[in-house]
Structure 1
Amino acid sequence: MQISEKSYEVRNLIGGSWENGNGRETEPVYDPATGKVIGETPLSTKEDVDRAVEAAKAAFPGWSSTPVIERARVFFRYKMLLEEHFEELRDLVTLENGKDAKDAGGEVRRGIEVVEFACGMPSLLMGESVRDVARGIDNVSHRFPLGVVAAITPFNFPCMVPLWTLPVAIAAGNAYILKPSERTPLSAIRLGELLAEAGLPEGVFNIVNGARDAVNGILEHPGIEAVSFVGSQPVAEHVYRHGAAHGKRVQALAGAKNSMIVMPDAVLEKAVPNIVSSAYGNAGERCLAGSVLVAVGDVADEVVGRIREAAAAMKVGPGYEEGSELTPVIRDSHRDKVRSYVDSAEEEGASVVLDGREPPREEGFFFGPTILDEVTGEMRVAREEIFGPVLSVVRVGSLKEAVDFTNGSPFGNACSIYTENGAAVRYWRENVEAGMLGVNVGVAAPMAFFPFNGIKDSFYGDLHATGKDGVRFFTENKVEIARFLSEPGTAEAVKRPTESGA
């Protein structure tokens, strides 16, 4: 993989025109593997949001009245362009986020799968009908786009998460504003360039870069009908409350504290590599990372020993170096935060089985693989999202204790179980409080045609992102009940109203 060290220009896209920062304050964009600044994100204002909304409003009537089959064809072309530029997009993700080529490529692939799903919009927008709900009366429903909608997306999946919503929202007939993470704006810009190349009319897709002011501008703007957000729990709650208070439809995907339950009958030679990948992939910076290992019974010593051996052998390095398995976290300030959690756990009595606090490389924002054993439910590392390459190990005596521990978390994003026992799986599935479940799968990510289904404090709203939930979120249902009063087959019935004197 070749990574360019050039400086990238970060611009807004409003009404089809790419705009520079025009002297606004900026936030640096880093290559996390080197710590070098590779761009500057302009911190847009509420006025910039307003201009983007006006451009989207102007584009909406023409786009929403475009036949859905023609809208879908834009995304067939877009899918082809994303495939043609797959490696370029993968490398951009690695550059600005730091993850390795395998994870970055997987991210781009999962985003493309949502585009494929959106290509089926003619079927997805089908309404429902019942004839003769009463004598001569039929009842039907139709789906309509909302108008101008927006998405606020995170740094950890700068390509995939924008693609969770923009294909669905736009193919459904909406005009769309994207506020990407100010830390990772480069992938979003390239996605916008390729959308224009696919033939999307100007103003239907807009990008407003920035931070707090841009976010609040979106949440408060009366011209935006719906907002989709992905990020940390405190910000998700703010987005949900603030957006709803301003009359918007909001879906806010929040934080996580995902358990991986290991039963005594788990096939460890296959489970351990999967657990390591879940805990340390993308440096632990993903909301589906398995961050707590719940070991049931006498399997604990063996599984911890195997995980320690595998994690200690991981190659720490830049995502663009072949063979790198543990890549950097997003910022030096975030590395300090992760380190503080390990310090806290040690002070509270956890055993540091593998210690990654000393930076394993001089350059960049690297944090070594870390394992904390003998963690209890009262410790911060058992309850709070760390978002780093730290695995906490909780030891319990039974599956019921493992489920009870998992359910004690305020989060409910995902949970995995490692077992070959069908009865154990059924008990766990019926009782665990998590929206995405993995059986011998450490990252329980649903396919594009299913919802990304977090619950509890991992999600604020009613309709989830992706799948049919995503279509429902970005559309409004109109229900029509109809009857015709004239008799069929008569001359009077086929006359125009003006001819019949009506």
Structure 2
Amino acid sequence: MTLIRECTQYIDGRMSNDGVGEWIDVINPATGKVVARTPEAGTAVVERAVEAARRAWPGWRRTNPFERARFLHGIAAEIEKDERTIAAAITEEMGKPLAEALGEVRKLAKAFHYYAEEAVRVFGTTIPNEEDGFTSIIEREPVGVVAAIAPWNYPVELIGWKLAAALGAGCTIVVKPSEYTPSSAVALFRCLHAAGVPAGVANLVTGSRETGRLLVGHPDVDKVAFTGSQAAGEDIYRTVSGITSFSLELGGTCPIIVTKHANLERAVAGTLRRGFRNAGQICIAINRVYVHESVYASFVDALGSRAASLVVADGLLNERADVGPMATRAGVGKVERHVADARERGARVLSGGGRTGEAEGLFYSPTVLADCTPEMLVMHEETFGPVVGIAPFATLDEAIALANGTPSGLAAYAYTEDLRETFELGRALEFGSVAINNVDAGIMNAPYGGRKQSGIGYEHGHEGLEGYLHLKHLRVHHGA
């Protein structure tokens, strides 16, 4: 019989479930079995966490940045020691293969190392005055108490981007992970505790969307950092109290353009990786593919064949799995609607197209849909599952218009060996990140964020740290 874990809140330097009355079952999507229980934090618990962060802020903001950097390096070291435990919790609760989960935990540790270094590079400026005897100094100061809401698809990495940057900047924070994936977040906070982070600087509350509303609506929260759906982001906008700073990453229907000058083998491999990694449950997953008509038939045949050969399995039982189960029943339902809509409108199913594996598991076969048209849901809504739709194009202008033709603007991809096309695509695509001849749109030391309905603000890079700082103009009359 599987042992059911009991998750705990982390408030004011202590693991505790004081004041919790309700619990949420956490389900392994590969088996349908309950693997953990997590508290539903109510008003009193959220209040306690925000109060702890507020009390800790004056001391933490004045902590020497080199000292804050030592704490962040220490957290990274603890994560590295416990990487397999954290990764196993990720796989068990949301389904991604263990190798992918280990990769996520390693990138989490790198985020803490990175922002440890950025913490000591928060520079100010001096501004000339038109009057002698004055000096103007522009200083950057931490914004205060941060409320961070993270989704289930990258349950520790997306916490880490917010947590590492906020702590490096001198903010204190309260984090709420997804109710689908609390155990890996608890394991991360055990690493913070082991690294000796002062009480109240970083706090964890668990629960449903209602817990998140209580947190972001708290009047003592100075900034909200959120990754999730557009609908949830709009809900947060309506929930916050007073004037609050935001960074929101809301996903998107990411396109890829394959021109007649592309290396087709690399384009197919890139589409396969970014379309089906994490079962397509990635904000920057390739959702829709536009291929030049001269190479269209070759591309769709190759992608369909490669997708059909991917291994779909429980990532804990088979570490060689390429694709695990989807994380939620609602997600499977959306995939089924998108595929059914495409079939009805005339798309050809080249691979997949339905559920696979044991009935109790949320497995869906990697699906390639050819001959898609703009009105199909898969070509203008974020599917967030292992499905890609493909359509031909005749001219580059047509492809660019199709790619730009949705309200989202997070990431776009293109494959071409033509230098002119490279720069034309790079400049014309209206997305926060554009990757040419690769499908890694985000790297830790470059800003990552969306345009249009895909969000506001940035994570990654020094810009990610800047999001937790605000400016002060200090004008001094010294008389010299």
> Normalising TM by the smaller chain, what interval?
over 0.9
One-letter code of the match for 1:259?
P
Instruction: Give the alignment of 1:40-439 within 5 angstroms.
Output: 40-130=37-127, 134-243=131-240, 246-320=242-316, 321-439=318-436
Change (3 A) 1:348 1:221: same
Partner of 1:494: none
The whole-number CA distance in structure 1 between the counterparts of 2:59 and 2:199 is 11
Partner of 2:6: 9
Partner of 2:33: 36
Q: Deviations over 1:106-150 (max 9, x none)?
A: 222222222122112443322112456542322211121122111
Candidates 17, 20, 40, aligned match of 2:17: 20
Q: Secondary structure at the match of 1:298?
A: coil
**Is contact 1:338-1:387 (8 Å) kept?**
yes
The whole-number CA distance in structure 2 between the counterparts of 1:269 and 1:148 is 48
The whole-number CA distance in structure 2 between the counterparts of 1:96 and 1:255 is 21
Shift of 1:22: 5.2
The whole-number CA distance in structure 2 between the counterparts of 1:97 and 1:142 is 42
TM-score normalized by the length of structure 1:
0.92
The whole-number CA distance in structure 1 between the counterparts of 2:24 and 2:279 is 23
The whole-number CA distance in structure 2 between the counterparts of 1:419 and 1:387 is 26
**Is contact 1:289-1:443 (8 Å) kept?**
no
**Is contact 1:288-1:443 (8 Å) kept?**
no
The whole-number CA distance in structure 1 between the counterparts of 2:315 and 2:413 is 27
Partner of 2:462: 468
Shift of 1:69: 1.3
Shift of 1:207: 0.7
Q: Deviations over 1:402-436 (max 9, x none)?
A: 11001111101111101101111111111111111
One-letter code of the match for 2:277?
G
Change (3 A) 1:22 1:220: closer
Matched, 1:480 2:477: no
Q: Deviations over 1:148-196 (max 9, x none)?
A: 1110000000110000011111122111100000100111111111111
Shift of 1:86: 2.2
The whole-number CA distance in structure 1 between the counterparts of 2:308 and 2:50 is 50
**Is contact 1:75-1:167 (8 Å) kept?**
yes
Q: Secondary structure at the match of 1:415?
A: strand
Q: Deviations over 1:334-386 (max 9, x none)?
A: 21221121112112222222233132344421000111111111121111111
Shift of 1:288: 0.8
Change (3 A) 1:22 1:483: closer
Change (3 A) 1:358 1:77: closer
Structure 1, 4-13 or 416-425: larger mean CA deviation? 4-13
The whole-number CA distance in structure 1 between the counterparts of 2:462 and 2:43 is 32
The whole-number CA distance in structure 1 between the counterparts of 2:238 and 2:244 is 10
Give me the CA root mean square deviation: 1.8
Partner of 1:492: none
Q: Give % identity.
A: 32
**Is contact 2:19-2:45 (8 Å) kept?**
no
The whole-number CA distance in structure 1 between the counterparts of 2:357 and 2:417 is 37
Highest Rg: 1 or 2? 1
Q: Deviations over 1:457-501 (max 9, x none)?
A: 111x3x31222222222112111121213x7xxxxxxxxxxxxxx
**Is contact 1:239-1:252 (8 Å) kept?**
no
The whole-number CA distance in structure 2 between the counterparts of 1:123 and 1:129 is 18
Which residues of structure 2 form unaligned runs of 5+? none
The whole-number CA distance in structure 2 between the counterparts of 1:5 and 1:451 is 42
Partner of 1:499: none
Shift of 1:297: 1.9
Q: Secondary structure at the match of 2:449?
A: coil
One-letter code of the match for 1:166?
L
TM-score normalized by the length of structure 2:
0.96
